[in-house]
Every structure is written in structure tokens, then in C-alpha cells.
Structure 1
Amino acid sequence: MISIDHVSKSFGTAASHTLALDDVSLEVGRGEIYGVVGQSGAGKSTLIRTVNLLERPDSGRITVDGRELTSLGAKDLRIARQGIGMIFQHFNLLSSRTVQGNVELALEVVGVDGKERRSRAGEILELVGLSDKANAYPAQLSGGQKQRIGIARSLATRPSVLLSDEATSALDPETTRSILDLLKTINRELGLTVLLITHEMDVVKAICDSAALIEGGRIAEQGKLVELISKPGSRLAHELFPLGEVPAGTTGTVIDITFSGGLADRPVIAQLAREYAIDVSILGATIETIAGSQAGRTRLELPGSPETIAAAIADLRRQGLLVETVTPTTTAGAAA
């Protein structure tokens, strides 16, 4: 649905420039919710703005719903953009217009007549739960309500793709959850493909099917979350299930066990204690619902001989569990 093919983008002059995107490639499937996560300055905002060519890349191709946008002229690009909605971090509402007027604005721009504009705006306001605020002004709304209006406006032209530029970063946790629930509803009911950028892993956990980690303008890792969870050494997976530092004073072998799907309810600790006579210590654990299924990570300290520990780890791996050894100086672990 969205193909970003070897895209690079720099800012500045030839003598002094910043490379914001460096040979970036991504594929977002139809109907997916795809998250791009990274720190400030990593290139997230530049990346999402290249998808609708608000930032034209220096090189590479952008294809959305089968149309290569980077090859289009100005007129055809304006038409193609009608199929791409965009939600902004700071809402970008017109204070002089009512809620209804702000939603209708997107339709005015593309020449939709007044009766149809009013009808469509009413439909979308009902979808986002703000029909009763149609005649209110932005100053009378909460932050979450303003973002719902921003979402409604982005849906007015019936896009097939929705871009979200840090849409929840200015909101409190409870409001963030409600906006993410709304995005999931829109994705499910309208069949929209959603590409969002964020610096918050909680957003990725909550709604994404796939994700990419961007650093210094390059994609460091990407894939479907259910596959990344079982990938040894995956940085995204470790960020999804943070367990922190290994406590000082540990003397046994420390392992992280990652499980997902049908493996989540295995009595792993009881089995280790029973079959290998190991006094297992639990150093940390986390469990989440990722892409619709339970997954998590448990950190254990295993005392005993190297032979016993090796046999126990081999047994866990035969059960399909991802097992990584951890040292006191690392937090992410290393595949062993």
C-alpha cells in the first residue's frame, strides 16, 4: 500500500547540509497499522512528510496505492493527495471556524459543494464521537477533542491512507489511550492503512501490527511485531519488554525468556524447578498484548552447574521459546 524505496533527503547547502534520511526503504501492507519509532532528530517527521511529498525526497521513489507520487506533476499530485489523510501533533485547527467548519475545510479545498460537505462532515463527526460539538469553536474544546477534530478532518476526503505525525505526544495518558482506540476503530471499520511516527513504545505496543526503528536517518530494524518478538537480539523487541539492569550481586546464570501466542501460558518456572532441581529466582517480568496476542519476557537467575544450566536452556529452546543470556553490564541481552 505504501512503498518507500531507497529514499534520501537532505537539508541545507552543498557546503553545509544535514542528511535527514539516508537510503530508507519501507513497505506498509494494505490495512496495516505501521509504526516508525525513534528519538528526536532521528528523521521520523521528515520520513512521514515524504509519503505525501510535503517534503520531496532528493532521491528514491514513493508509491501509495499503486501510484508513484514522485513521478507525478503538480496537478496529479494534488489529486493523489486526496487519498492520503494526515493528522498533526498540534491539531492545526482554524480558531475562527466551528468544529463543523474545520472538518468541511478539507472538502472546500477540493471543490465539494456545500450540501455534500455538510453531510460528510456530519458523518465523520459521528464516527469520532463529537456530533454534539459541531457548532463549538476550538477554544471550547479539550486537547483530546481537538485531536479528534483533526482526525475527522483528515478523513473527510475518504482517504485510503492515514498518516499520523506524533498525534498523541501532546496528550495526557488517558486521552492518548482514547485516541489510539479511535485509530484502531478507524483502521478496522474503514479499512484504512495507517502509518504513524512516535517516540513512545507504548503507542507501538497498543496498536501497531509492524514497526521500524529509525536512527540517524537510517532504518536500524523493521518487521512485523509478532516476528520481531521471536528474533534474537531484536532491539525493538527488547524495547517492547523492558526489564532494566541486572541486579547487582547475582551469581547464577541470568537468562531472558521471550514467549508469545500459545507459549504464553507455559508453566516454565515450575518445570525448570521440578525437572532440573534449580532454585529459580525471578528477576523481572513483563507481559503485553502485542498485535492481538499475549507476549512477554521473563528474566530468571539460574544457579547450578554449567551442564545443568545448558541442559535447561536447551530444553526451553526445544519448546520454541527464545532464550537469551544476560550479563550484569548489558540490558538487552545477547543470543546464546
Structure 2
Amino acid sequence: MITVENVSKSFPSTHSPVVALREVNLVVNAGSLFGIVGPKEAGKTTLARCVALRERPDRGTVRYDGMDTSRLAGRKLWGAQRQVAMMEPTLRPERTVAGNIAAPLERMGVEADRRRSRVGTLLDVIGLSRSGARLPSELSPGQQRRVAIARALATEPSVLLADDPVDGVSSEESGAVLSVLDRARSELGATVIVTSRDADIARRLCDEVALLDRGTVVESGTLLSLLGKPGSPIAEALLPRVDTPRALLSSYDRAVDVILVGFAAVGALLPEASARFDVDFTTIGGGLTRFGDTPVARFRLGVEGQRADAALAWMAERGAHLSTPMFGLRDVAA
């Protein structure tokens, strides 16, 4: 487990120090895929470098399994840093794909047979088993980024930090890059921390997420738990929009926003509630999406029937996240 405790970091400038991080607190669970998202200059890269032990905070500390890394120096600090790899996107142009991946192992003095075995494993993980002899110039930007991830994983680190891993990569190729990060966690056992300006990467990839803005954590938690949190900016950014003309709402006894998480809820909860309580649901906004492998629906529903309140309460008991109901004009007039 990685614990970031009250971390602050500033950098000198000609006028006054630039504050990059302000009293940041985070918990990254071992084996998780953690996303740090936020706008440009939010402090994401600085936080990643502090977690990777490449920057020392001005105040606060980063703990690994309870160990206070601010007290480490010399060989002990170097040993801790070896357990945390950062993806560096630039490859050495004169070396082959296999040669780039093997470079960290060569610096460590790993024998040739073990290097070849590790490189072969990683080429398979990144889906480039037949490209080991190619040069970086022969690869697409997305393929180059996958090689950079493999190089970072070569020394079998416990933690991998990928700072903006799909920056400059086309949307068609970004999925393959994110898939490699997922395999790094699921197959190689690494804790993976990803930073990005695009919050949608968290929806596609992460279990846990933190929203950073102006060096401050706005909110954090498991992604699915944030979906039902009232006013969550992460949920609002990632869930389908539910804009509906007010005139349309007046056609129904009730209008309510509902968030359904998981296959069972998305597929069966509304039809079962309709049949059980003899109410009619009409979808008047929203849609379906996925958070990783989990289907999530956000609908604005028009509800009609005398037992509408009972139906909505029954759904809430079974995990549906319901907003404060909005009453249609028919009810207001009554």
C-alpha cells in the first residue's frame, strides 16, 4: 500500500514559488489500477514523481507499506526507487525493440539468458512478439508507447507510474496502450498509477481515482463508489448526460435520475420493478457506458403509476442510485 500524507511541493521562480502540490493525501492499494486525473498544471506529474521517489516533498511523506521514505538516503533510497518504475516515452532510436526493453537489465548486469527470457515475456504482454528486431522508427506512436511500458517493466518493479501514457497516441491505438497497463497489473502483479488530463481514461481503465486541481485533491475513492455520490465531479464527467427539455418532463407523474451499476442492475432492475409495482418507466435521457468491464447506466426516467414511490424505494434497496425526484408539471399543478 502507498500512502501519501500531507504532501506539499513548490518550485522556485523569478517572482514567487510556484506551488505544485498542497497538502495532498491519498491511499493507493496494492495491486490496484489508480488514476490521477485533472486539468493541465494540476500537479499530476509532480505528484507522480513524488510517489516514484524522484522528487522529495517540501512537507509530508510518501509511505510504502508503512515505511517512511522521507527518511531514506543512499543505498536504501536507491533500493526503494528500484521498486518504482516510471514510463519514459522516448526510445533509443539506434536500438531494436528488444534492445530497448533489455537496456535496464543490461545496466543491472543480468545475464543474457535471463534477459532474453524477460524480454520475450514482455513482448508477449505488449502484443509485439514478432517485432523484437524492428527499430522504433518502424513502429506507430502507440506501438512505441507499448515498448516504453515494457522497458519500464523489465526490472519487475512493484509499482509502475505512467504519466499521460496516451498523450500523442491516436484514439484508435490508445485502447491497446491501456490494455498493456491492465495486463501489467493483472498478469505481472504491478500496482499501476496513471496520470491524465482525460478523465475518460479512468472510466476505461482504473479501479480507483483521484481528481487533482491546482495541486489539491478534489475527491478520491473507488470509481464505482463515486458514481452514486451526490455532486461528484468525477461521476458527472464520466456518466452519460441527461439533459431533458422541461416540457417533456410535464408528460409524466414523476421524473427521476437513476444510476444502475452491474449486469444484473442494468439488465433486469427496471423491468422487474415495473412488473412488481405496476408502474411504467420511460427513458427520457441518459444512456449506457462501461467502467472497465462493468456496465453502468444513467437514465432520466419518466415514471407513471400509483405505486411509483414504492417502486423507486425498492430499486434503491437493491443498489440503484436515485437522485432527488423532480416532479412533472402535472404534479405541480395538482
**TM-score surpassing 0.5?**
yes
Q: 1:1-336 residue pairs with structure 2 within 5 A?
A: 1-13=1-13, 16-88=16-88, 91-247=89-245, 249-252=247-250, 254-261=255-262, 262-268=264-270, 271=273, 275=277, 280-290=281-291, 292-302=293-303, 313-325=312-324
Gaps in structure 2 of 5+ consecutive residues: 327-334
Deviation at 1:165, TM superposition (A): 0.6
C-alpha offsets along residues 202-260 of structure 1, whole Å, 9 cap, x if unaligned? 32122211111111111111111222223233222222213153335344354210111
Partner secondary structure for residue 265 of structure 1:
helix
The whole-number CA distance in structure 1 between the counterparts of 2:258 and 2:14 is 49
C-alpha offsets along residues 286-318 of structure 1, whole Å, 9 cap, x if unaligned? 2233354332211124579xx987666445434
Cα–Cα, structure 1 residues 232 and 114, in superposed 2: closer, same or farther, change >3 Å?
same
Give the letter for the 1:282 counterpart: T
C-alpha offsets along residues 125-183 of structure 1, whole Å, 9 cap, x if unaligned? 23322232222211111112111110110111111111111101321222111122222
Scaled by the length of structure 1, what TM-score is found? 0.85
Give the letter for the 1:20 counterpart: A
* Percent identity of paired positions between Structure 1 and Structure 2: 35
Cα–Cα, structure 1 residues 273 and 153, in superposed 2: closer, same or farther, change >3 Å?
same
Deviation at 1:19, TM superposition (A): 1.4
CA RMSD of aligned residues (A): 2.8
Scaled by the length of structure 2, what TM-score is found? 0.85
Deviation at 1:70, TM superposition (A): 2.2
The whole-number CA distance in structure 2 between the counterparts of 1:145 and 1:14 is 40
Deviation at 1:77, TM superposition (A): 2.0
The whole-number CA distance in structure 1 between the counterparts of 2:94 and 2:19 is 38
Partner secondary structure for residue 104 of structure 1:
helix
Gaps in structure 1 of 5+ consecutive residues: 328-336
Partner secondary structure for residue 109 of structure 1:
helix
Is 220-229 or 67-76 further displaced after alignment? 67-76
The whole-number CA distance in structure 2 between the counterparts of 1:182 and 1:296 is 27
The whole-number CA distance in structure 2 between the counterparts of 1:136 and 1:240 is 38
The whole-number CA distance in structure 2 between the counterparts of 1:208 and 1:289 is 11
Cα–Cα, structure 1 residues 277 and 68, in superposed 2: closer, same or farther, change >3 Å?
closer
Cα–Cα, structure 1 residues 82 and 269, in superposed 2: closer, same or farther, change >3 Å?
same
CA contact (8 A) 1:232 1:322 kept: no
